[in-house]
């Protein structure tokens, strides 16, 4: 990057809209830690008021975590859950992104299916679980499929919207330069749709995670969802909350990875920014 | 034409050598869905553009300037009549550079990648493409910004990059649709000089659409005045100011002043006599408003 010193004098005409001080001028980790402390304090307070049979204190939860993590129960369940989640989510992305691109690229195809896609995405996908169990049983196939149907629609709809919202002016520019339809699709529409696709992946990921737990509750009781069911039914609230916390951590890890992926692909938008 | 004709991509060599542009009796109407009567954008326009001339299309809004430009590029086809570019019907491609008013750079690509886009389409190798982009960026003084993204550049820089992109495939025809309209007055004047210099070195046919009479007289060999509703050729004027025009103050020359005055009076008359114009019968002496349009 030889142009490093030039960039400092480059007028930056577009800034991210913001209110208040600039992100780089604040000690973000200080604020984040403060919120963490407040949340723990709130949890503690609620545990004291509600009674520890219903809601364990953070301290009890921590103690329980040594036990259930130490004996391998939670790590095994976590591995199980993450595998199901990843399989379902990746399958959903692998299906929904090309399908959404096709719907956007071939307008007749997209316009024909649009209504059905919307109908399907508005349906509570959990209602399919009994049918899925009939056809796929209670094992991994069924679990992965439940995750798949949870994540597939937001990814599909966002990808489709991304292609439809591509910049018509850029398309005309490419056409005037002699680009063929396939080139316009690959070089203009696809990169233009990327921000929409990554947004779809994020929504899809959180739904996939929820559906993973749902699947583990409804089908063969396994994984973290299975542990929730076991601990919940026997009122062992401290280990129950360990599982809840692990699920929250998985959620954070997944979202952070997607954010990194997004910034890798959309680097021009985030140049010189912290996150 | 250009110093390094050897690197011309194969696609341009099939073209008639520096052929002129022939426009014969073309008409074009635009109509919205479910409308029977459309708007006549162009009616029976005939025009010949000789090789190596800089031609400006001027006229009030609605005279079909941009429509005509798009037809020359082959982006839209006329309802009737014929256009021949270098002896062939027009087709889009890198042999025709197109510069738009809105710069139309891809925000996800660096300036170098944006500029080399037309070469990428014709399948040039990465290395050759980057070299050529850098050479052209050098020409417009943007070499330092080759690795920057469009949102890091000012309007004038963006338009210079867009100009680079139009020139990179070494086109025989350069079509410009109000390219400097979005720039501030000062940047605009510098860009005009820049364009004059580039054209001096890389002679080609330039068809330049502008709303600015001043700009048209300054840059052109020939000015085509169009009249609106329906769009027709009203007058063709030759500009005989000697080149290169950046070496003296062309705006002070008598011919410049007279041409500018003449064109401006004609446009004012057209606008104030056009019932569909927002300036119909306004702000112009009644004598001018009643004056003959053709």
DSSP secondary structure of A178-198:
T--HHHHIIIIIHHHHHHHHH
Query: Which residues numbered 119-138 in A keep a CB inside 8 Å of some CB on B?
Result: none
Among B75, B109, B110, whose Cβ lies nearest the Cβ of A175? B75
pLDDT at B279 over 90: no
Listed as ranges, residues in chain A with pLDDT below 70 are 1-17, 23-25, 270-275
Is A7 touching B (CB cutoff 8 A)? yes
Contacts of A179 in chain B (CB under 8 A): 121
A182: distance to nearest CA of chain B, Å? 11
Q: Can you give the pLDDT at residue A2? A: 37
Q: What is the CATH number of the domain that holds B65?
A: 3.40.50.300
Calculate what percentage of chain B has a pLDDT beyond 70: 87
Cβ atoms of B139 and B216 closer than 8 Å: no
Determine the pLDDT at residue B284: 53
C-beta separation of B159 from B167 below 8 A: no
Residues B185 and B251 in one domain: yes
Q: Which residue of B has its CA nearest to A193?
A: B108
pLDDT band at B183 (very low <50, low <70, confident <90, very high): confident
Residues of chain B with C-beta less than 8 angstroms from the C-beta of A173: 98, 100, 104
- The yes/no answer to whether this complex scores an ipTM above 0.85 is no
Q: pTM above 0.95?
A: no
Secondary structure element (H or E) that encloses residue B163, with its range:
helix B155-167
If DSSP codes are grouped into helix, strand and coil, which group holds residue A73? Answer: helix
CB contact A172 to B (< 8 Å): yes
Mean pLDDT of B218-223: 90
Return d(Cα B157, Cα A78) in angstroms, integer.
53
Same domain, B44 and B126: no
Give mean pLDDT, residues B202-223.
89
- What is residue B15's predicted lDDT score, i.e. its pLDDT? 38
Q: At a CB cut-off of 8 Å and minimum separation 6, what does B4 contact?
A: none
Do B209 and B144 lie in one domain? The reply is no
The interaxial angle of helices A237-265 and A223-233, nearest 10 deg, is 160
Contact B228, B61 (CB under 8 A): yes
pLDDT digits (tens, 9 = 90+) for A181-196: 889 998 999 898 998 9
Q: Cis omega (within 30 of 0) on the bond before B230? A: yes
A191 and B106 within 8 Å at the Cβ level: the answer is: yes
Whether B231 is in a domain gets the answer yes
Using an 8 Å CB-CB cutoff, list chain A residues near B94.
177-178
Give the pLDDT band of residue B248 (cuts 50, 70, 90): confident
User: Quick count: other Cβ atoms within 10 Å of Cβ A203?
Assistant: 15
Q: Assign B36 a pLDDT band (cuts: 50, 70, 90).
A: low
State yes or no: pLDDT of B38 exceeds 80: no
Residue B100 falls inside a structural domain: no
Helix axes A190-218, A237-265, angle to 10 degrees: 170
Two tokens at B87? 């002896």
| Shared domain check, B79 and B27 | yes
Structural domain for B224, as ranges: 5-95+174-290
Instruction: Give the span between the Cα atoms of B252 and B249, in whole angstroms.
Output: 6
Instruction: Name the residue facing A169 among B102, B120, B152 (closest C-beta).
Output: B102
B15 plus B127 within the same structural domain:
no
The whole-number pLDDT of residue A202 equals: 92
Work out how many CB contacts closer than 8 A connect A with B: 83
> Which DSSP state fits A119?
H
Alpha helices in A165-270, H assignment, sequence order: 168-176, 181-184, 190-218, 223-233, 237-265, 267-270
Q: How many CB atoms lie within 10 A of CB B25?
A: 12
Cα dihedral A54, A59, A65, A71 sign? negative
Residues 6+ apart with CB under 8 A from A268: B107, B108, B109, B110, B149, B151
A57-268 folds as: MetI-like fold (1.10.3720)
The CA distance from B52 to A227, in Å, is 80
pLDDT at B140: 82
Asked whether the beta carbons of B19 and B86 are under 8 A apart, the reply is yes
Contact criterion met (CB < 8 Å) for A176 and B75: yes
pLDDT band at B283; cut points 50, 70, 90 = low
Interface with B, mutate which of A16, A178, A190 (most B CBs under 10 A): A178
Is residue B277 within 8 Å of B63, Cβ to Cβ?
Answer: no
Domain map (residue ranges) of chain A: 57-268
User: What own/partner pairs with CB < 8 Å and gap ≥ 24 does B138-146 have?
Assistant: B139/B164, B139/B198, B140/B164, B140/B194, B140/B198, B142/B111, B144/A3, B144/A6, B145/A3, B145/A6, B145/A10, B145/B111, B146/A3, B146/B110, B146/B111, B146/B112
Of A169, A175, A271, the CB nearest to B92: A175
Q: Please report, for residues A76, A87, A152, A159, A252, the alpha-carbon distance to residue A205 in angstroms, rounded to integers and kept in the order given.
A: 21, 12, 9, 14, 11
Q: Is the predicted pLDDT of residue B16 greater than 50, yes or no?
A: no
Q: Which residue has the tokens 């003959």?
A: B292
Using CB atoms, pick whichever of A6, A174, A191 lies closest to residue B145. Answer: A6
User: What confidence category does residue B197 fall into, taking pLDDT thresholds of 50, 70 and 90?
Assistant: confident
Last residue of a domain, one of B150, B168, B186: B168
Contact B100 A169 (CB under 8 A): yes
In a domain, B286, yes or no: yes
Same domain for B81 and B191, yes or no, is yes
Tens of pLDDT along B48-88? 888 888 999 998 887 888 888 889 988 888 888 888 888 88
Q: Taking the mean position of all CA atoms in its chain, how far away is CA A270?
A: 20
The mean per-residue pLDDT over the stretch B272-287 comes to 68
Chain A positions in Cβ-Cβ contact with residue B122 (cut-off 8 Å): 178
Contact yes or no for A141/A83 (Cβ under 8 A):
no
Residues B248 and B263 in one domain: yes
> How many whole angstroms separate alpha carbon A33 and alpha carbon A31?
5
Q: How many CB atoms lie within 10 A of CB B278?
A: 8
Q: Tell me if B117 and A13 make a contact (CB, 8 A cut-off).
A: no
Q: Note whether B120 contacts A: Cβ–Cβ < 8 A.
A: yes
Asked if residue B42 is part of any domain, the answer here is yes
Q: What is the dihedral of CA A217, A222, A228, A230, to 10 degrees?
A: 100
Residues B243, B132, single domain; the answer is: no
- Residue ending a domain, among B141, B168, B195, is B168
- Least CA distance to B94: which residue of chain A? A177
Is omega for the bond preceding B244 within 30 degrees of 0, making it cis? yes
Question: Which of B107, B108, B144 is nearest residue A6 as measured by Cβ atoms?
Answer: B144
Q: Number of folded domains in chain B?
A: 2
Q: Which of B76, B90, B106 to mutate to probe the A interface, most A CBs <10 Å?
A: B106
Does residue B179 share a domain with residue B151?
A: no
> How many Å lie between the alpha carbon of A99 and the closest alpha carbon of chain B?
23
Contact criterion met (CB below 8 Å) for B118 and B168: yes
What's the pLDDT at B290?
46
Mutate to test the interface with A, among B95, B107, B156 (most CBs of A within 10 A): B107
In this predicted structure, what is the pLDDT of residue A23? 67
**Rounded to whole angstroms, how far apart are CA atoms A96 and A152?**
6
A126 Cβ contact list (under 8 Å, min separation 6) = A211, A214, A218
CB distance B155 to B187 below 8 Å: yes
Lowest mean pLDDT among A183-187, B182-186, B242-246, B290-294: B290-294
pLDDT of B34 higher than 90:
no
Query: Is there a contact between B99 and B177 (Cβ–Cβ < 8 Å)?
Result: yes
Determine whether the interchain pair A13/B154 forms a contact, defined as Cβ–Cβ distance below 8 Å.
Answer: yes
Task: Kindly state whether residues B74 and B190 are assigned to the same domain.
Answer: yes
Query: Are B139 and B79 in a shared domain?
Result: no
Short-list B234, B259, B233, B235, CA closest to B245: B259
Among A271-275, B260-264, B287-291, which is the least confidently predicted range? B287-291
Listed residue (B86, B102, B94) closest to B174, CA to CA = B94
Angle at B252 between CA B248 and CA B255, to 5 degrees: 100
The answer to whether A179 and A134 have CB atoms below 8 angstroms apart is no
Lowest mean pLDDT among A141-155, A193-207, B199-213, B277-291: B277-291
By Cβ distance, the residue of A169, A268, A269 closest to B104 is: A169
pLDDT tens per residue, range B77-136:
888 888 888 888 888 888 888 999 888 999 989 999 999 999 888 888 888 888 988 988
Location of structure tokens 């992109």: B165
């Amino acid at each position: 990057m030889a142009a490093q010193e030039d960039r400092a004098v480059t007028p930056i005409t577009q800034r991210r809209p913001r209110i208040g001080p600039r992100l780089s001028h604040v000690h973000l980790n200080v604020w984040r830690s403060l919120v963490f402390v407040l949340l723990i304090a709130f949890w503690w307070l609620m545990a004291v008021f509600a009674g520890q049979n219903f809601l364990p204190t953070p301290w009890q939860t921590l103690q329980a975590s040594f036990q259930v993590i130490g004996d391998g129960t939670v790590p095994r369940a976590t591995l199980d859950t993450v595998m199901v989640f990843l399989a379902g989510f990746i399958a959903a992305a692998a299906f929904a992104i090309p399908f959404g691109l096709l719907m956007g690229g071939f307008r007749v195809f997209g316009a024909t299916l649009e209504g059905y896609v919307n109908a399907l995405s508005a349906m509570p996908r959990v209602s399919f679980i009994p049918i899925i169990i009939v056809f796929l049983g209670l094992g991994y196939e069924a679990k992965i499929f439940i995750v798949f149907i949870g994540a597939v629609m937001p990814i599909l709809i966002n990808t489709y919207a991304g292609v439809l919202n591509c910049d018509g002016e850029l398309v005309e520019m490419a056409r005037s330069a002699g680009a063929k339809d396939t080139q316009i699709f690959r070089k203009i529409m696809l990169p233009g749709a990327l921000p929409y696709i990554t947004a779809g992946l994020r929504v899809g990921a959180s739904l996939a995670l929820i559906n993973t737990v749902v699947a583990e509750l409804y089908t063969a009781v396994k994984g973290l969802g299975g542990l929730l069911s076991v601990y919940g039914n026997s009122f062992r609230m401290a280990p129950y909350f360990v599982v809840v916390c692990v699920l929250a951590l998985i959620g954070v890890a997944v979202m952070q990875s997607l954010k990194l992926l997004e910034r890798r692909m959309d680097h021009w938008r985030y140049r010189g920014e912290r996150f | 034409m250009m110093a390094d004709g050897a690197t011309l991509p194969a696609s341009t060599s099939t073209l008639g050598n520096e052929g002129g542009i022939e426009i014969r009796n073309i008409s074009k109407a635009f109509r919205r869905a479910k409308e029977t009567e459309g708007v006549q954008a162009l009616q029976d326009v005939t025009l010949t553009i000789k090789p190596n001339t800089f031609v400006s299309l001027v006229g009030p809004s609605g005279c079909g300037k941009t429509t005509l430009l798009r037809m020359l590029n082959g982006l839209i086809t006329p309802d009737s009549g014929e256009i021949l570019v270098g002896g062939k019907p027009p087709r889009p491609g890198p042999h025709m550079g197109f510069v738009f008013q809105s710069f139309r750079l891809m925000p996800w690509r660096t300036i170098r990648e944006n500029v080399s886009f037309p070469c990428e389409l014709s399948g040039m190798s990465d290395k050759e493409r980057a070299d050529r982009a850098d050479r052209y960026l050098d020409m417009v003084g943007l070499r330092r910004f080759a690795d920057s993204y469009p949102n890091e550049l000012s309007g004038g820089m963006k338009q210079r990059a867009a100009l680079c992109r139009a020139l990179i495939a070494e086109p025989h025809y350069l079509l410009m649709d109000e390219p400097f309209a979005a720039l501030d007055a000062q940047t605009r004047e510098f860009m005009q000089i820049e364009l004059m210099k580039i054209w001096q070195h890389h002679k080609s046919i330039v068809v330049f659409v502008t709303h600015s009479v001043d700009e048209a007289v300054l840059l052109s060999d020939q000015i085509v005045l169009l009249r609106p509703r329906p769009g027709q050729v009203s007058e063709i004027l030759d500009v005989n100011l000697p080149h290169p025009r950046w070496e003296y103050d062309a705006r002070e020359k008598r011919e410049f002043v007279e041409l500018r005055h003449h064109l401006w009076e004609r446009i004012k008359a057209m606008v104030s006599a056009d019932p569909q114009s927002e300036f119909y019968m306004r702000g112009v002496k009644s004598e001018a408003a009643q004056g003959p349009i053709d």
